Structure 1
Amino acid sequence: MPELPEVETIVRALQNGGRGSPPLIGRVLQGAELRWQRSLAAPQPDAFLEKIRLQPVKAVARRGKFILIHLNQATLLIHLRMSGDLRLEPAADETGSPVPPAAHDRVIFHLTDGWRLAFNDPRKFGRVWLADDPQAVLNGLGPEPLDESLTAEEFHRRLSRFQRQLKPLLLDQSFIAGLGNIYTDEALHLAGLHPLTPSHLLSSEDAARLLNAIRTVLQEGIRRNGASIDWVYRGGSFQNHFRAYGRSGQPCPECGTPIARRIIGQRSTHFCPACQPLKVAPAGGNSSTS
C-alpha cells in the first residue's frame, strides 16, 4: 500500500492536475531539499542536487508501483513503498508567508511558479532515484497487468513455469508488476481461486479468468481513485467495495460464507473457503479440488 491503482491515481493527478493541484508537467525543478538523506537511493546527494537543478518536467508516468518523472536529461523514480505519498502544493500561503513542511516530508522539490512537490513518508521505506536510464532501476519488473500485450495464453504459460502458491507469486513484482496485498486478494476472490493453489495446476480457463479478474479489480480501483484504508493514502473509495480484503468473518458477497483470514507468505490473506476451493494435484498427477 499504495498499490497500482493508488500510484496510477497520483500519476494522473500530476499529469493533468487534480487532488487540488495543477499539473506538474511543464514546471521546472529549481532545486531540492533532502530532509532525510536515506530516502535518496541514488546518486550521491551532491550529484543529485546538482543534476536536478533547473530541469524541466517533460512527462509523468507509472511502471508497476514506481512513479516516473521524466526530466530533460534524466528521470526521477519514486517508490512509495508502505507509507509514501506525493503532494504538489503551494510553497507559500495567501499572505506570501512560507508554508512549513509537513511532518514526515522527506524530500521537497522546489518548483517554478511558487509550487513544490513533497515526498512524504512516515515509515521511511520509500525511495527516490535519479537515473539517466530508468531501466537501470526498473530492470527485473514483470509485465504490466493492464498491458494488452499480456495475453491470457502468455499469462497461462508464465503461471505454468512455476510451482508456487498463487498469492506469493502474484505479489512477486518480477512475475507481474503492480499488485499488492489488497488487489491480489480481491482478484483471487473474483476469480474463485484459492490463494494457496499451486500456479502450475491452473488450467488455461483458470488463467484467463484470473487475468480478467486482476484487470477488473485494478480498473475498478483506478476508477474509484484507489483505496483509503488508513492514514497512508488520501481520497480513494475502493475500500467501500471490497469483496474479501479486510472482511474477515463477514459474509462472502457471493455465497454468504464467512470470509476467512490466514497468514500466507507473512501477509494477511482474505478469501472465501466455499467460493475459492483449494486445487491440489492427486497421486495420478491431474489437478482436483479439496
Structure 2
Amino acid sequence: MPELPEVETVRRGLSPAMEGAVVTRLELRRQDLRFPLPVDLALRTAGRRIVSLSRRAKYLLIDLDNGDTVIAHLGMSGSFRVEAADSTTPGVFHHERSKDEKHDHVVFHLERQGAVSRVIYNDPRRFGFMHIVARTELDAYPAFQELGPEPVGNRLSADYLASRFAGRAQPLKSALLDQKVIAGLGNIYVCEALWRSHLSPTRKVATLVTKTGKPKQELHLLTDAVRAVIADAIEAGGSSLRDHIRTDGTLGYFQHTFKVYDREGEACQTEGCGGIVERIVQSGRSTFYCRRCQK
C-alpha cells in the first residue's frame, strides 16, 4: 500500500493539473471501489472549481469551491494519471502501468482557461476509495478522528512520543505503525527509521522514556530519524513498490537507497557493524533489521 511519501508525491504531481481547474464532469465508470462511491459524488463535483489539493496521512484531499472536499485513498494498486486532450500520457515509463480501460474507474474531466484535460483514477484491485464531505466536517470523518500528528509536522516531537510511550510494553515497531500515534507512517519507513536510529523493532517503547516521563536521547534520535527518512523519501519521489507510480508515469527511486527494508541476508550498511539484515514477522508484517547494531 502506498505510504505517506507516495501520496505526497501524487499530490504534488496532480496539483499543477488540478488546482484552479473546473470539473466539467466527473465520470464514474462503476458504482463502487472498495466501498460504494457516494451517489451524489458526480453531482456535487460537476461545475466546481478545484481550490487546492492537500493530504492527511495517506489520504488525498481535493478541495472544491463550494466547501466540499473529495477524499481519495489509493488502496493497494490505485494511481492517478494526467492526460491532456491533445497528447498521450506524459512521462517516461520505467515500468508499464495499467492502461486497460476496465481499470479506469473515475475520470475527472477538467477545463482551465479553455484548455481541457483528464485526470484518471485507475485501480486494478479496487482497494482504493473516494468519499465527499463538507470541509467543515473533515475532523469528524471517521478515519481522521483519532489520527496522530504528521511525521513532517511540528507536532511530532520526542516529548510527544514520550507521552505516548511511557509505561507501555508495546514493541517499538508496532507502536510506530499505530496511526493514532503517528499519522501516515508505514512499514517501509518504520524499518528504515529504526535502522537509522539503531533501535530494535522489538524493544519495548517504555525503555525510551525516563522514570519522570522525559524522552531519553535515543527517543530524540528516533524522532529525528522518522522526520529525515520521510523527507528523503518525498524528495526521491516515494518508494514505488509494486504498483505505485507517480502521476507523470515515472517511478520513485527511494527504494534504491533502502538500508534494511527487503534486504534480508545482506550485510548491514552501518559502518563497522558487520551484522546481517534479518527478517522477522511482527503482527503479520515483515520487519527488516540488524540484530547487531539495533538494540
Using the size of structure 2 for normalisation, the TM-score is 0.84
Q: Residue by residue, what CA displacement relative to the aligned partner does 1:11-70 show, whole Å, maximum 9, x if unpaired?
A: 11222x3xxxxx31011112222223222747632x111111111000011111111110
Are the counterparts in 2 of residues 109 and 118 from structure 1 also a CA contact under 8 Å?
Answer: yes
Q: 1:263 and 2:263 equivalent?
A: no
Q: Which amino acid aligns with 1:243?
A: K
> Which is further off, 218-227 or 79-88?
79-88
Q: CA deviation at 1:162?
A: 3.6
Secondary structure of the corresponding residue to residue 114 of structure 1: strand
Aligned residues: 265
> Which is further off, 150-159 or 185-194?
150-159
Q: Which amino acid aligns with 1:259?
A: V
Measure the CA separation in 2 of the matches of 1:140 and 1:253: 36
Equivalent in the alignment of 1:70: 63
Measure the CA separation in 2 of the matches of 1:201 and 1:37: 49
Equivalent in the alignment of 1:156: 162
Equivalent in the alignment of 1:56: 49
Secondary structure of the corresponding residue to residue 212 of structure 1: helix
Measure the CA separation in 1 of the matches of 2:185 and 2:70: 22
Q: Residue by residue, what CA displacement relative to the aligned partner does 1:98-155 show, whole Å, maximum 9, x if unpaired?
A: xx86452221111113211111222211111111122232222111111113222112
Measure the CA separation in 2 of the matches of 1:59 and 1:216: 26
Secondary structure of the corresponding residue to residue 38 of structure 1: coil
Q: Which amino acid aligns with 1:3?
A: E
Equivalent in the alignment of 1:121: 123
Equivalent in the alignment of 1:136: 140
Measure the CA separation in 2 of the matches of 1:199 and 1:93: 53
> Which is further off, 225-234 or 170-179?
225-234
Secondary structure of the corresponding residue to residue 50 of structure 2: strand
- State the structure with bigger RCO (CA 8 A, min sep 6), 1 or 2: 2
Measure the CA separation in 1 of the matches of 2:140 and 2:47: 23
Q: Which amino acid aligns with 1:39?
A: L
Q: 1:219 and 2:228 equivalent?
A: no
Check 1:42–1:124 CA distance in 2 against 1; reply closer, same or farther (3 A cut). Answer: closer
In structure 1, the gaps of 5 or more residues are 18-22, 95-99, 278-290
Residue identity over aligned pairs, in percent, reads 37
Specify which of 16, 23, 26 is matched with residue 32 of structure 1.
26
Check 1:40–1:51 CA distance in 2 against 1; reply closer, same or farther (3 A cut). Answer: farther
> Which is further off, 154-163 or 261-270?
154-163
Specify which of 241, 249, 261 is matched with residue 257 of structure 2.
241
Specify which of 67, 83, 103 is matched with residue 89 of structure 1.
83
Equivalent in the alignment of 1:280: none
Measure the CA separation in 2 of the matches of 1:200 and 1:172: 15
Equivalent in the alignment of 1:104: 103
Q: Which amino acid aligns with 1:130?
A: I
Using the size of structure 1 for normalisation, the TM-score is 0.85
Check 1:103–1:238 CA distance in 2 against 1; reply closer, same or farther (3 A cut). Answer: farther
Secondary structure of the corresponding residue to residue 107 of structure 1: strand
Check 1:211–1:116 CA distance in 2 against 1; reply closer, same or farther (3 A cut). Answer: same
Q: Residue by residue, what CA displacement relative to the aligned partner does 1:73-112 show, whole Å, maximum 9, x if unpaired?
A: 2001111122221112124547xxxxx8645222111111
Q: CA deviation at 1:180?
A: 0.9
Q: Which amino acid aligns with 2:58?
A: K
Check 1:162–1:104 CA distance in 2 against 1; reply closer, same or farther (3 A cut). Answer: farther
Equivalent in the alignment of 1:284: none
| Alignment RMSD | 1.9
Are the counterparts in 2 of residues 163 and 199 from structure 1 also a CA contact under 8 Å?
Answer: yes
Are the counterparts in 2 of residues 2 and 82 from structure 1 also a CA contact under 8 Å?
Answer: yes
Are the counterparts in 1 of residues 244 and 251 from structure 2 also a CA contact under 8 Å?
Answer: no
Are the counterparts in 1 of residues 33 and 129 from structure 2 also a CA contact under 8 Å?
Answer: yes
In structure 2, the gaps of 5 or more residues are 89-98, 210-214
